[in-house]
Amino acid sequence: MSRALRIVVIAIATAVVALLLFPTFLSLRAAGTAVFEPERFDFVLLGAAAFGIAVGVQVVAWRRGRRVALLALFASAALLFGFMAVFSIGLAILPVGIVLLIVLFRALRRGPASVTRAAALGGAAMGYSAILLYLALIVPATAECFPNGAGTSSGRWRGSGQQQYTGGASGVGGQQGVFTGYAEYSDSVVTFRCDGGRMVEFQRTPR
């Protein structure tokens, strides 16, 4: 098996494992207090991120190209995150990415091209993929319980079929720490019940 084919096969296997473990991760994150319902694009982001990271890790010659790879990783991650969040914290991250990019170009000139090019490409792949991974993992909870209330959220991606959204939660009279909530979407209705900050009932009913 050629090196290129081996890299692709390992990357695909990594992406598949990540996708299979995603529901387990969300279940652990929920810890009995929330329900997460990832959308299709969340799985696309996760698969692409896992694939990119696996490719990057294998492409880099870590003994000789570690510095270039790390510079490319942090520069690409800072630039992508900076542009995506340019109207908030990203405005402070963008200059960091630009400085790292300049340092990266200087580092590319000093080392042998056969090592630095692969290290830069691998590092960039990991940097961009790290941001995609972050986006995939911060799935908002469909419904979440708190000690003193509850909350809901709408789908975050267009095309999810859940763009029309209203929601709310209220306490149950005479029962301390018990809250019921609902969320209405264009294609379904969610109802849930919280008791002492724990999710005890959750149901999604198609329209």
What does the alpha-carbon distance between residue 94 and residue 191 come to, in Å, rounded to a whole number? 42
Question: With left for phi above 0 and alpha for psi between -120 and 50, is residue 145 left, alpha or beta?
Answer: beta
pLDDT, greater one: 191 or 77 = 77
Q: Give tens-digit pLDDT for 32-69.
A: 999 999 989 999 999 999 999 999 999 998 888 999 99
Q: Give tens-digit pLDDT for 19-30.
A: 999 999 999 999
Average pLDDT, the chain: 87
Return all residues near 123 (Cβ < 8 A) that are at least 6 apart: 56, 60, 68, 69, 70, 71, 72, 73, 75, 76
Per DSSP, the three-state class of 184 is strand
Half-sphere exposure of 159 (CA within 13 A, CB side): 4
Phi then psi for 39, rounded to 5 degrees?
A: -90, 170
Distance in Å from the first CA to the final CA of the chain:
51
What does the alpha-carbon distance between residue 185 and residue 197 come to, in Å, rounded to a whole number? 24
Phi then psi for 36, rounded to 5 degrees?
A: -110, 135
Mean pLDDT, residues 91-111: 91
Cα dist from 165 to 87, 101, 152, 194, 199, whole Å = 25, 42, 10, 21, 21
